[in-house]
Amino acid sequence: MFHCGKITYVHTYVLQFKFIVELKKLMNNKLGLNTSKIKRPKNGSHWLYACFQNDEERIKAIAALNGYSWKGKTLIAEEAKPAPDPLVRKRKQEEEGIQNKKKKEDNDKSQEERLKDAVTPYWNMPYEEQTKLKEREVKNLLMKFDNEVWKIHKEKRTEIEANRKVYDGLSFELKPIQKSPVTEGYRNKCEFTVGIDEETSKPTVGFRLGSYVTGTVAVAPISSLNHISEKMKKAVLVFQNFVRQSSMEPFSPADYSGYWRYLTVRESKHTGDLMLIISMHPQDLTTEKLEELKKNLIEHFSTEESVACCIKSLYFELLTKKRVGEDGSKPTHLTGSTHIIDTILGRQFRISPEAFFQINTAGADILYQSAIDMSRVQRDTTIVDICCGTGTIGLCFAKHCDKVVGLELIAEAVKDAKANAELNQIENCEFFAGKAEDILPSVLARVTGDDVVAIVDPPRAGLHMRAVTQLRNTKKVKRLIYISCSPASAVKNFVDLSRPSSKTLRGAPFVPVRAVPVDMFPHTKHVELAILFEREQSKEQVDQTKEQVDQIKEQVSQTEEQVDQTEEQVDQTGEQVDQTKEQVSEDVNGDKQAIEVDSNNGEMALDSDISTNDVQI
């Protein structure tokens, strides 16, 4: 449980992200306070909230901050009243007989229907209708983005409005939604929660029926969900049997008791192999008890039932609360292979427990091919793959371009990316580990060549503003493809990429050219979106382009004149050929007449001779 205090600083700067970062540095680095997180203030409020691991650290922080002079202002710090616990609030409402409208509706549904509504809300809608609905939602969202661009680019409004007449209300092209080739059992990764089934009261491995905020911690079985494969469902039951046979209870988010927390299952759609990552809270278990538990898990997942499920890799992870600056625990390999192998666009990729990989493998084929087609990649192009994960996008681009440079936060994923390049015998790729906003400048400095295309596939929250700024200011990046699994969250990035040049965003803005939605998540509300941005040409570049066009026109004109001259020469040559043919024909006719006369004369002479001889005889 977090212990919160509130701080006030009367200044409009409080709403800016930079302020939050600087305040956190002040508290953690300079004053030595262990802040877990700082919550942004609500609109119109001068209070923000800082959270701490315990009450002692909160008291220490209030003493240090209250009356502290910072940036010409005096801070006020005091204890914040905690928000009511959702579970306590829910129990109280139930005791008082208070139910909201949604709760009454849910009570009329079975547990199975409630789970489907929570996890796959479009489960009861024909797939054709799902894609049409998503297409409309994407267009509405892009129109909001387009309106923002219209507001900030006054000088381009006429051009934007003209383009909207061409592209049905948008200033750029929106392609029809690309449908998923597979709509049933398409997920290659799922994270299941271990909890209590409210119907059977038994430990169950499945999905939550709601969130803790809504006062729901019950877990329901996943057998009826259509986006999970049968093989994955069987593996879940194998682990569920182990949990029910053990003496350890599932972890409870209400009072932090219990042990079993999550089961993550990864599936290769190419080989059918499964990887399982079991996560638990150790509580007060000794090292000896944990080692014994690991042995039991290895034994359990070595049975014929487990082998029949194609479980080829097993990991174990301890989850405890992280303190400020602490790295999270890493999964420990227990048995089987350390990786599983899957394929996209004919390339093989090895997948580790924490590595990012598109959850719809068949859909990824379509998404990546769309990105390749939009990019207009050439043999001399350099691809900068930002948030590259295991290198999937960059390695799919590799055979079409000169060089690929990839950036990724998770070091283990970078190892996978390098191994994947070797696995596919690809030699024109380099991968670097670190935050995109930190290492992007040095990586871009290594890029040579005039045609540079950036591929951005960030986490759901989008790119850090520093990374956006660096992309804007790196003039050699001519085109950018932004791939987002949460377009609504990425709109701010879209707008910042398109803003007019300023002191911070020195490079020319990027202009949206084409968008392609891809349905990577059938039966859910989510959709993947790829947008092609092109660097806007500066006035000097436009003038240079016009000069080049004029030069080309002049060359074309000269070429046309040469063609005309050549045609005249051809005509003259044709006339000469005709004259020559006539002369040859006349000569031939004359020779024939001469030959006929000589022949007749010869015959006449011969006849005369014969007659004479006859007379003499």
pLDDT digits (tens, 9 = 90+) for 371-409: 999 999 999 999 999 999 899 999 999 999 999 999 998
pLDDT at position 582: 76
**8 A C-beta contact, residue 387 and residue 408:** yes
**8 A C-beta contact, residue 283 and residue 289:** no
Residue 396 a catalytic site member = no
Which residue has 């055979």 as its token pair? Answer: 399
Least confidently predicted of 95-109, 260-274, 276-290: 95-109
pLDDT at position 427: 95
From edge to edge, which strands make up the β-sheet containing 3-8? Answer: 35-39, 47-52, 3-8, 76-79
**8 A C-beta contact, residue 520 and residue 526:** yes
Q: Report phi then psi at 521, rounded to 5.
A: -135, 65
Residue, of 555 and 194, whose pLDDT is higher: 194
Which residue has 């970062």 as its token pair? Answer: 21
408 is in an annotated binding site: yes
Residue, of 549 and 73, whose pLDDT is higher: 73
Least confidently predicted of 83-97, 324-338, 536-550: 83-97
Query: pLDDT at residue 528 above 60?
Result: yes
pLDDT single digits (tens) 459-491? 888 999 999 999 999 888 999 999 999 999 999
Query: Quick one: pLDDT band at residue 599, thresholds 50, 70, 90?
Result: very low
Instruction: Name the nearest CA neighbour of 234 among 294, 285, 203, 190.
Output: 190
Least confidently predicted of 184-188, 214-218, 510-514: 214-218
Which residue has 């377009």 as its token pair? Answer: 487
pLDDT at position 468: 93
Arithmetic mean of pLDDT, 34-50: 76
Query: pLDDT at residue 602 above 50?
Result: no
What is the secondary structure of 28-39 as a DSSP string? IIIS---EEEEE
Q: What burial class does residue 542 get, using C-beta atoms within 10 Å of its C-beta: 0-12 exposed, 13-18 middle, 19+ buried?
A: exposed
178 is in an annotated binding site: no
pLDDT at position 11: 39
Which residue has 């709403």 as its token pair? Answer: 15
From edge to edge, which strands make up the β-sheet containing 173-174? Answer: 173-174, 510-518, 528-535, 477-484, 452-456, 382-386, 403-408, 429-433
- Segment of 190-194, 351-355, 435-439, 503-507 carrying the highest mean pLDDT: 190-194
d(CA 3, CA 77): 14
**8 A C-beta contact, residue 239 and residue 276:** yes
Which residue has 């020469």 as its token pair? Answer: 569
First to last CA, the chain: 155
Question: Alpha helices, DSSP H only, in 2-156?
Answer: 17-25, 55-65, 86-95, 101-107, 111-119, 127-152
DSSP helix/strand/coil, 120: coil
Query: pLDDT at residue 176 above 70?
Result: yes
Query: pLDDT at residue 190 above 70?
Result: yes
Query: Quick one: pLDDT band at residue 223, thresholds 50, 70, 90?
Result: very high
What is the secondary structure of 245-274 as a DSSP string? HSSPPBP-TTT---SEEEEEEEE-TTT--E
Of the candidates 309, 387, 396, 485, the residue annotated as catalytic is 485
DSSP bridge partners of 7: 48, 77
d(CA 556, CA 57): 77
d(CA 432, CA 452): 18
- 525: enclosing H helix or E strand: none
Instruction: Name the nearest CA neighbour of 328 among 423, 411, 212.
Output: 411
Query: pLDDT at residue 597 above 70?
Result: no
What percentage of residues in the chain have a pLDDT greater than 90? 58
Q: What is the dihedral of CA 231, 120, 390, 461, to 10 degrees?
A: -160
**8 A C-beta contact, residue 504 and residue 522:** no
457 is in an annotated binding site: yes
Arithmetic mean of pLDDT, 127-153: 97
Supply the mean pLDDT for the chain.
85
Provide the residue count of the chain. Answer: 617
Query: pLDDT at residue 329 above 90?
Result: no
pLDDT at position 173: 97
Arithmetic mean of pLDDT, 199-210: 93
> What's this model's pTM, rounded to 2 decimal places?
0.76
Token couple for 10: 């009367």
Arithmetic mean of pLDDT, 570-576: 80
d(CA 482, CA 142): 13
Q: Report phi then psi at 416, rounded to 5.
A: -60, -40
**8 A C-beta contact, residue 378 and residue 403:** no
Query: pLDDT at residue 456 above 80?
Result: yes
Query: Quick one: pLDDT band at residue 608, thresholds 50, 70, 90?
Result: very low
What is the secondary structure of 295-331 as a DSSP string? HHHHHHTTSHHHHHTTEEEEEEEE--PPPTTPPPP-P
Token couple for 337: 């292979």
| Upper half-sphere CA count for residue 325 (Cβ side, 13 Å) | 8
Least confidently predicted of 8-12, 140-144, 444-448: 8-12
Strands 340-344 and 219-220, how do they pair?
unpaired
Least confidently predicted of 46-55, 122-131, 137-146: 46-55
d(CA 491, CA 496): 9
pLDDT at position 143: 97
Query: pLDDT at residue 517 above 90?
Result: yes
Query: Quick one: pLDDT band at residue 138, thresholds 50, 70, 90?
Result: very high
| Upper half-sphere CA count for residue 386 (Cβ side, 13 Å) | 30
Q: What is the dihedral of CA 448, 454, 459, 460, to 10 degrees?
A: 160
Query: Quick one: pLDDT band at residue 44, thresholds 50, 70, 90?
Result: low
Residue, of 76 and 150, whose pLDDT is higher: 150
Token couple for 602: 């010869």
Query: Quick one: pLDDT band at residue 320, thresholds 50, 70, 90?
Result: confident
DSSP bridge partners of 167: 170
d(CA 418, CA 339): 14
Arithmetic mean of pLDDT, 584-600: 57
pLDDT at position 603: 45
pLDDT at position 39: 77
Token couple for 162: 């003209």
pLDDT single digits (tens) 49-107? 888 878 888 888 888 888 888 888 888 888 887 665 555 555 555 555 655 555 555 66
